[in-house]
Chain A
Amino acid sequence: QSALTQPASVSGSPGQSITISCTGTSSDVGSYNLVSWYQQHPGKAPKLMIYEVSKRPSGVSNRFSGSKSGNTASLTISGLQAEDEADYYCCSYAGSSTLFGGGTKLTVL
């Protein structure tokens, strides 16, 4: 049960686009279309942003999108806004367990 691999940090300027990668294995990300992404602001509970690789829950901006290729999933945020500054975590179903990535701190410059 190893954690999924995410970059520790990414940054971008307002209006730009950024992409956060999430690398797993053929036993988790590569085997299931059950990758989700969560946004967490300091001191707050995580919030679901993307589920089943690329679907957005009701109320989540269409600036957030997800994709997957092989064992790597990605979250793209377009038109960066100041309020997007937060920690982002990927998550994948892995059979009898669930794995999270180590988290990526997004800084909006």
Chain B
Amino acid sequence: QKEVEQNSGPLSVPEGAIASLNCTYSDRGSQSFFWYRQYSGKSPELIMSIYSNGDKEDGRFTAQLNKASQYVSLLIRDSQPSDSATYLCAVRPKAAGNKLTFGGGTRVLVKP
């Protein structure tokens, strides 16, 4: 079992719809969770961080964390073609210091 798992996609959504991305992790003691957006050929860019159970909203993005079920999700509302990218889930396992474990990423395609 991989430590951080994501559906590789592509997740195809029409413009204006909600894109829903999921990520599961194996280390129950993990404390910090991050979503990065990576455009093709570019480096990852941090878009959301979440540390406690529940929802965290930032503009069109909402991160949801459920530590009991060991999953974290990202919702993108009013999806735009510019949201087309690969979204990487990263988890900071317990006792890992500042180290992160990354999932393989979910590719999102927003169609006009």
Tell me, yes or no, whether A binds B: no
Chain A: residues with CB nearer than 8 A to chain B?
Answer: none
Which B residues contact A (CB, under 8 angstroms)? none
